[in-house]
Chains A and B, each alone.
Chain A
């Protein structure tokens, strides 16, 4: 398996003789109910540096930057901009101080053009817009920093990577000097990430300060000049790039509690037997904003994890939905364990032993206002129904939750709390426990580790591997190529609703996949 990467690493070391910091955070403390998100954090941002904020989910990175951006206000602590204490009560204040932020999920309006989106962001617009002046600025910044997008195109028609560029342009035209990127690479393909890092290089040459929030070590080592590691709301350490090593950063992030990652144990499992799932030339109708699946043929055998790579929105959701019976095949057939299940409804497919881990557990997997136990019961109502459905055996539900959590060696949960009060990791564990507790033969796992801290993510991956090892089949949709490479027995690449490649993980490197994902050259051969 290829684990090497040839991303360009930043060679310029941060110049310690540089001028005074652009922004200084001192003693920032922020409490949320039951948790201290930031505990007297100090941080300096200098002009001309890429400053990575690294840490697990929930370490307080985003909170800290949202305080700087005026999204939250700190309980205590001070912020100085250009050496002068600043009061930042709202994002508008932050923008006036020339601080800008790119959020995890982009904030563009799809129906409006690039130029309109940028204009919308600018403060102090005159009543009558000077569109030409704005277009000139977009053009100017675009040329200067290789942010070449056509300002007249509607945002919905441009690639995700270009949308990212629009987000950056927005900040530049708005005259920001401090650019904060919150997990900005999540939706990007590998070569788009590299493109972003090249943009960083040019920006910092011109004295911009860039904050790059992430939990991915690879990216940090590729682009940062200084790296601040956060852990449970505190600064665990700040390193300059030349001092930083992968091991050193891991140690800072986790202390010694670093769990071990699963490795492929290829060749030991048998992947024969009738396929658990077979899609034969399945085509769907386009529905609303969704992607139309086009002539999909796919097999998942017992003891096999099939990984699905692709830029999100290229049919991953529809592929999962067609397996779960949520959308109909316009053409083609769906077979489950050799039986034609083309016309089965979702309930029957689920009852036949198909489980799912949705991409958005709170929105798609559970009923937020119900308790963990009620949600667990919903997963297999018939099992718990008594007296023909007139009552439900809650003791049985509770027992099963306990057993399931124990088997997966998850930390136990109180089954009587509403799931909306759970953390992301707890929620994902509850969903995994529910679905695995049903002993599914086939599991459709969509982004099962998204939004999870590293430990929860590993636990989730371990669960998938265990299911596979016990003869189950898994469809793993993920945007994390490392995850796909380490778990999958077979990889397929989706682009615009078609399977554009099928590979064994050792046959292909991440660049080739990246190009297939974005439809920018590269073939199956």
Chain B
């Protein structure tokens, strides 16, 4: 073996993971605070607008419309690619959605959200240190068992989320994503904890680096779209009920873009993740051919990887089939993610198969 085990490094890694989980928790609270505070502020604005609007309804709406377009710098090019983006003209009146359909950053500052993002960045840095020290401690890539897969996967979820924040205002996803990251870290430490160790011979292959890294990355992307699809369902339900009787019980959802914007963005991320999953499947088959002598043998893990692939393929097709867009597509995306979770937890631990490398 070229690299030895460094137990001290492994202990540092676990300390980092613990610290990261703690920091994520504070970030989670900040994100939740942001949602609560912003929705409160929005309600107050609503109330004022309603009072003022009773006297002069038209000027308010017009003023808001002009204000929102004036705040935008990118001009006509960016206007209304989709019918949905008219949502941003809804303004502070009685609009169902305040958030920008394009998920671009608005001008007003949301202090709690900024704090939350900063905390998430800090947590991710600590988390990254945990992943790196784990890799150094084991002298190899940090995804050789379920503990490592989960901790590295959670790090990627956080990293992808933070990276996408650079271009899009997805802070409304914060509570959801950071919450999932915390769950993943806790699950890893409580249920799947494994000390640093060498790989079994079956895993000693460069395909481990290729196959598993793409699998983790795709899973991280699927995690993001799962959050979006879940929000999409809530939002679409809310848009319907608020549209019908005007009572808005989920005020904080105004910070979340419209269901259609969510659907469009999650479709784009799912498309990337689907390509990643296709590679996972393919590279897995190539590795299986090298390790076991056949590229496909309906091993339980292969079955579920295939099922996930088919479900997301169905999702992509559903988007092009009338009557299957919107809510149904969101459900397919959620079912796909549930399959990912099932594949990771139940199949790894309870099913017998060639992929029994949980390290438990």
| A, B: real partners | no
